[in-house]
Structure 1
Amino acid sequence: MALLDENRLFPTDPALREFARNLYEGIRDLPIISPHGHTDPRWFAENEHFANPAELFVTPDHYVFRMLHSQGIPLEALGVPQADGSVTETDPRKIWQIFAENYYLFRGTPSRIWVDHALQEVFGITEHLSAKTADAIFDQIDANLKTDAFRPRALFERFNIEAISTTESAIDDLRWHKMIKNSGWAGNVITAYRPDSVIDPEFDNFAENVAIFGEMTGEDTSTWTGYLAAHRKRRADFKAHGATSSDHGHATARTEDLSPDIAATLLQKALQGTCTAEEADQFRAHMLTEMARMSLDDGLVMQIHPGSYRNHSASAFARFGRDKGFDIPTRTDYVHALKPLLDAVGRESNLTIILFTLDESSYARELAPLAGVYPALKLGPAWWFHDSAEGMRRYREMTTETAGFYNTVGFNDDTRAFCSIPARHDVARRVDCAFLATLVGTGRLTPEEAPDVAYDLSYRLAKEAYRL
């Protein structure tokens, strides 16, 4: 018995379902373009076996462990490492047993589809995960992981990934990307420039990070001109390792276009730890505009991921650090917040700025109208908490009427869980085919046009937008 319904996510109307299914069959096997994510480049550099099922499915996936923790299960019981190195559970079978016993919690969620897809399509498992089947499924996955066919590079090729981008800090030494580049392997694994740690004055150890930034680039980053020069050099380093994009995870979409004197003063306050919260936000805002100007020079596509209250739980952050499931969506303004940046560079047709949101109320009201007129702007796909069948459908409904399809950039998976990549792209392709079938059924798209749009949404737009 299969875990997955072959008609999942398609319309229930028989005629629309058949059209959506036929449309999907035409694009289901297209190569995967994964232009933004958080898989570990070390996997592909060393190409070692994944250690065990828990390390593959549970410990790295905040979608999984945040749901389990919401029911009172301690993060350390799931093997999530503590910031100070204190002991967490290390027995993968115990971690897997907890996951299996509580798998019912994921009923109806995107994670359920992703995990079931990986179990069935990657590991050939047809039994539902539960306390009863936990050991047998663990053993089957574990046995597979010990074979060469399940090493990271082999899975990369099996998943038909044409290109994947990881995301590294501006002060990362890029050692794993260097190893990949020198290995002779043909897999296209590139990096993306994430400068938050040297742009956000409220980031942990900001002054120390900026000092390291200076050491890495040979620039005096205590001065405004040296600080900007360091960014240009590091961006060039990242480009040399395949980067085609930068990524910015600011709390808001606020931008500013300040004079060099004001920006230099704010940098000095940030380095001295004396800037106020407003001044820190003002500096972050100005640096988005500076990054956009640099993108005009070096061609890196700029991604802005605002609207997340990062590390909402102070105690969880203190014990486990960043990216542990406590990032919560907030309301986000784009019309006023982006105006300084758009006044500076928004009409530049050779610049691409991709906007994401965790605030769905802004899609139709702000984001689609902005992308529907400014040449520099494109809309990123439904992201993070809205990376779901319902979120993708709402995204298409709220943006297409104003921005169309061609001011969007296809799909990215934004994941740390490697085996969920093909699952997430499969969900996106099914949802888009269902949406296109509905447009055809209601006379808003011709049957002849639909296959072209499906191809563009699944493959071409992402490849072109990210210059891959």
Structure 2
Amino acid sequence: MPISIATEPDRLLPADPGTRRIARGLLDLVEQLPIISPHGHVDAAVFADDLPFRDPATLLVTPDHYVTRLIHSSGVPLERLRIHENSSARDVWREFCAAWPLFEGTASGYWLRSEFSHVFGLEDELSADTSDASFDTIRARLAEPGFRPRTLFTQFNIEVLATTDDPLDDLAHHAALAADESFPGRVLPTFRPDAYTNLAHPAWIENVDRLISTAGDGATGYAGYLAALENRRQYFIDHGAVSADHGVHTPRTLKLECSEAEEILTRARRGERRDGDRERFEAHMLYEMARMSVQDGLVMTIHPGSFRNHHLPTFEKFGADTGHDIPIPVSYTEAIRPVLQDFGTAKNFHLILFTLDETVFSRELAPLAGFYPAVHIGAPWWFLDAPDAMLRFRSAVTETAGFSRSSGFIDDTRAFCSIPARHDASRRIEASFLARLVAEHRVSESRAAELIVDVVDRAPRRAFKL
């Protein structure tokens, strides 16, 4: 497929000419709107330091588990996709270019092709034969002043970008950016307490000890633990945070008596966990995080349903987030009920529920969001943020929950240069879905014009209190 496909004006729009015309008109209304990215994993230091990106491989290949996992599935060892004493950035790029045909039809292929064309100006399709030339072209571009992170932030038309941060992070980079009048955008921290609430985390005991000693107000035990979490949440709010994110195995919530929570915490800090302690404590702390969000106003987002580090040999050698996390089925209706019983109608509580199990969209999330004022439906995430899956999502939730109850698009990426392509794809999918409703005389064209602006721009602002 030629790289010029990425410049086709009607890419991802409906094949039917009449419906495509409607979609093109709708897309025109939102194509140039600023990017709102309220959940992602780009490091704030990238913009605070504003250092040049090193090379194509470390920017586009090695940190992107979407890319490395697919190449690895073809039999390429992960060692050959990492830079080390026996493998240079150019060697990694050659492996990537040789594997480029594997990406046809994938969401990653779509984003990358768009990046190569729109960001880096590549004209030739990637291949083993063009790998050195494309490496040199991109490396030369990265050395230009116009390719510094801050300049790209402006060129990408990003208004808001949220990071994901450890509760004990001092947020110095966020503070520096907020104080810098020359930086036009907002880079917001996000409170991510998983390493302090998941008893199975390898550093959990050390993390909790540091948390309580740093922010526990002098209290010890469970009281100091809760106080420290509340204090750190406030610290994040003072530094611009609007949300707290929770990457959990399941969305189960549980309201324990304080005495039981204290007992589990005390045992776990001694390294004496019992069967069921991890699941009960994590579920209880998810409930506690909801209680805190009602009190302090942080939007609560839940990202469950991933079997993390499925391949232990890879985890032991390369660590987490290296491509071997696999989705599992989830169920929300009973799991989230303790939170919704107490807080589902609480004023100003925003609870955004994500899933990797798309059967949940129509079966549970749309009905929940269609009743509880607190619940918003998280956009297709991770394995689901692909064109066809996004269309399935919109079809699955709209008939029950309408357009107003979703979070807006979430790019959830570490790959900074892919952000414009991801948001562009989402906008094209929304235009395509609405165009079909117009063509079928289910929604008027004037109303579709209002709806697409709402789902692209107003929905993320509304859901994340921006």
Task: Tell me if both proteins adopt one fold, taking TM over 0.5 as the criterion.
Answer: yes
Give the Cα separation in 2 of the matches to 1:383 and 1:35: 13
- Among 75, 79, 95, the alignment partner of 1:76 is 79
CA deviations on 1:179-211 (whole Å, 9 max, x unpaired) are: 323444332111100000000101111110001
Tell me which residue corresponds to 1:33. 36
User: Match for residue 326 of structure 1?
Assistant: 324
Q: Give the Cα separation in 1 of the matches to 2:238 and 2:78.
A: 38
Cα distance in structure 1, aligned partners of 2:359 and 2:410: 21
In the TM superposition, residue 160 of structure 1 has moved relative to its aligned partner by 0.2
Contact 1:211 1:221 (8 Å CA) reproduced = no
Verify the 8 A CA contact 1:249 1:304 in the aligned structure 2: yes
Q: Count residues in correspondence.
A: 462
8 Å Cα contact 1:293/1:345 also seen in 2: yes
Aligned to 1:419: 417
Q: Is the 1:79–1:89 contact (alpha carbons within 8 Å) kept by the matching residues of 2?
A: no
Q: What is the alpha-carbon distance in structure 2 between the residues aligned to residue 276 and residue 170 of structure 1?
A: 26
Q: Is residue 96 from structure 1 mapped to residue 98 from structure 2 by the alignment? A: no
User: In structure 2, what is the equivalent of residue 117 of structure 1?
Assistant: 114
| Aligned mate of 1:19, from 4, 17, 22 | 22
Q: Which amino acid aligns with 2:381?
A: W
Point out the more displaced range, 270-279 or 299-308: 270-279
1:440 corresponds to 2:434: no
Q: Deviations over 1:200-242 (max 9, x none)?
A: 1011111100011123215457411111110111001111221
Structure 2: which 5+ runs fail to align? Answer: none
User: Is 1:227 the equivalent of 2:229?
Assistant: no
The answer on whether the counterparts of 2:50 and 2:150 sit within 8 Å (CA) in structure 1 is: yes
In 2, distance between residues paired with 1:277 and 1:61? 35
Residue in 2 that maps onto 1:180:
177
For the Cα contact (< 8 Å) 2:5–2:11, is it kept in 1?
A: no
1:141 corresponds to 2:138: yes
Q: Secondary structure at the match of 1:169?
A: coil
Q: 1:152 aligns with which of 140, 149, 157?
A: 149
2: distance between equivalents of 1:412 and 1:32?
Answer: 10
Q: Alpha carbon RMSD of aligned pairs, Å?
A: 1.4
Larger CA deviation: 190-199 vs 440-449: 440-449
Which residue identity does 2:73 align to in structure 1?
A: S
Cross-structure match for 1:65: 68
Contact 1:78–1:89 (8 Å) recurs in 2 = no
User: Equivalent residue for 2:277?
Assistant: 279
Indicate the residue corresponding to 1:240 in structure 2. Answer: 238
Name whichever of 158-167 and 211-220 sits farther off.
211-220
Percent identity over paired residues: 45
Contact 2:216-2:227 at 8 Å conserved across structures: no
Is the 2:216–2:225 Cα contact (8 Å) retained in structure 1?
A: no
- Tell me the equivalent position of 1:10: 13
1:134 to 1:3, Cα distance in 2 relative to 1, 3 A? farther
Which residue does the alignment assign to 2:127? 130
Q: Deviations over 1:279-320 (max 9, x none)?
A: 211111011111111111111000000101111111111111
Structure 2 vs 1, CA of residues 433 and 323 (structure 1 numbering), >3 Å: closer, same or farther?
Answer: same
**Counterpart in the other structure of 1:84:** none
Counterpart pick for 2:392 among 394, 407, 419: 394
Residues 178 and 186, structure 2, Cα contact 8 Å, conserved in 1: no
Structure 2 vs 1, CA of residues 7 and 314 (structure 1 numbering), >3 Å: closer, same or farther? same
| Paired residue secondary structure (1:416) | coil
Contact kept, 8 Å, 2:64 with 2:414, in 1: the verdict is yes
The aligned amino acid for 1:207 is I
Which residue identity does 1:148 align to in structure 2? P
Q: Residue 89 of structure 1: CA displacement?
A: 5.3
Q: Distance in 2 between matches of 1:277 and 1:389?
A: 42
The 2-side partners of 1:127 and 1:462 are apart by 36
Task: Classify the secondary structure of the residue corresponding to 1:419.
Answer: helix
Counterpart for residue 83 of structure 1: none
CA–CA distance in structure 1, aligned partners of residues 270 and 73 of structure 2: 39
Distance 1:180 1:103, change over 3 A: same
| Structure 1: 5+ residue stretches without partners | 81-86
The one-letter code sitting in structure 2 at the alignment partner of 1:437 is A
Partner of 1:361: 359
> Residue 358 of structure 2: SS of its match in structure 1?
coil
Match of 1:163 in 2: 160
